[in-house]
Amino acid sequence: MSDMFVLSEEHQAIREAVRAVAENKIAPYAAQVDEEARYPHEAAAALLASDFHAPHVPEEYGGAGADALATVLVIEEVARVCVSSSLIPAVNKLGSLPVQIGGGDFIKKTYLSKLAAGEGGFSYCLSEPDAGSDAANQKTRAVRDGDDWVLNGTKRWITNAGESEFYTVLAQTDPDKRSKGITAFVVEKSDEGVSFGAPEKKLGIKGSPTREVYLDHVRIPGDRIIGEVGEGFSIAMKTLDHTRVTIAAQAVGVAQGALDYALGYVKERKQFGKAIAEFQGIEFMLADMGMKVEAARQLTYAAAGRSERGDKDLTFFGAAAKAFASDTAMQVTTDAVQLLGGYGFTRDYPVERMMRDAKITQIYEGTNQVQRIVMGRQLLAGVQSTL
C-alpha cells in the first residue's frame, strides 16, 4: 500500500470485480440465507469460482497472492451485500494464517495448497466455554503419544464449524506454563473423534454456522504441529493482529451497504409534499453516517498497509480499526433503520438484517472492550507512530 491515500488501479480493479460477483451472485440470496439460517452455498461457489474464497494464500501454494489491502477489499465488498458470506474469505484467512505465520514448509505446502484449490475451508479454534476474552485459559489438552498427539477438549463459537475441512486448534501441552504451554495443531474434519454441536441460534450472521467443536481422543501425527511446541499462543495472538483488520473491513462493508440503501430510500420517500432527503434533520444524519464510514474505511486501509508490511504499530492499528469500524457499523446500521421508519423495522427491507449482522463485529475476534485494553497498552508502551 503506497503512502498516497488512494487505491492503485490494481486494487480498484479488484474492488470492481468483487462488487460484480457480490451484486450478481451473492446479494440475490442474502435475505433467504438469513431467513432460513442456512449456509450461503451460492456465495461459497461464486467466491471459489472467482478465486475470492481465500485470496490471501500466496501464489507459491496456488493461491491468488492478494496482499492485505486486496483481501480487505474482497471482504468489504462481500459484506456490503451479505455479512454471512463475507465470513468465508475472512475465516479462511483467520484459520490458515497461523499456518502461514508459524508453520514449516511441509504444513504450509499441504494445507495452504488444499485451501487455495478449494478442497475445504479453514476454521480457527481458540475460544472455549471458559476461555473467551481470557484466551490463555485453555482447557483443551494435547498429550504426546510416541510420534503422535492426542487431543481432548471442547471449542466454542467456532465460525463455519462443520462446513470447514480444516481447523487450527489451540491446545494446552504444558499446563504449568499457562500461555507459554499452548501449542497449535491442524485438525481435519475427517479425523476420528472430531464432532460438532448444534448450530447456535444467533441474532445475526445466521448464514454462517457457529458451533462447538468436540475433540474426543483425536489422534493426529506430529507433523501437524504449527511451529514449535509452546509457540501456539504467540502465533494465535500474532494472527489476530492481522485478522482484526478483516473484521474492520466487514464492518465498513455492512455500514456502506446500509448507507447506500438509506440514501436511495430517503430520495424516494415523500412526506409533507417533498422527499424526506430535503429535511435538514435527515441530511445531518446522512452526513454523520457518511463521514464515519469514510473515517472507518481510511483507518481500515491504513491498518491493512501495516498488516502487509508487518509494521511495529500493527497491534495498535488493528485494534483501532476493528473497534472504530465496528462501533461505526452499529451506529450507521441503526440509523439506517431509523431513516426507513416503520419499513426499516420489517424483514421486507435489508437494513434490519444489516443492523443485526453488524452487532457481532463489536464482539468477535476480541470484544471492543478488549480492543481498548490492547490500544491502551500499546499507547503506554509508546508504540503509536508519530508522523
Is 119 among the catalytic positions?
A: no
* Secondary structure of residue 160 in the 3-state scheme: coil
Which residue of the set 77, 212, 231, 365 is catalytic? 365
Distance CA 84, CA 178 (A): 34
Phi, psi of 99 (to 5 degrees): -65, -45
Contact 27, 48 (CB under 8 A): no
User: In b/e form, how buried is each residue of 331-343, taking b as 16+ CB within 10 angstroms?
Assistant: bbbbbbbebbeee
Contact 337, 37 (CB under 8 A): no
Distance CA 367, CA 382 (A): 23
Distance CA 186, CA 180 (A): 19
Distance CA 262, CA 267 (A): 9
Rounded to 5°, angle at Cα 110 from 106 and 115: 145
CA atoms within a 13 Å half-sphere pointing along the CA-CB vector of 385: 10
Expressed in angstroms, the distance from the first to the final Cα of the chain is: 17
Residues carrying an active site annotation: 365
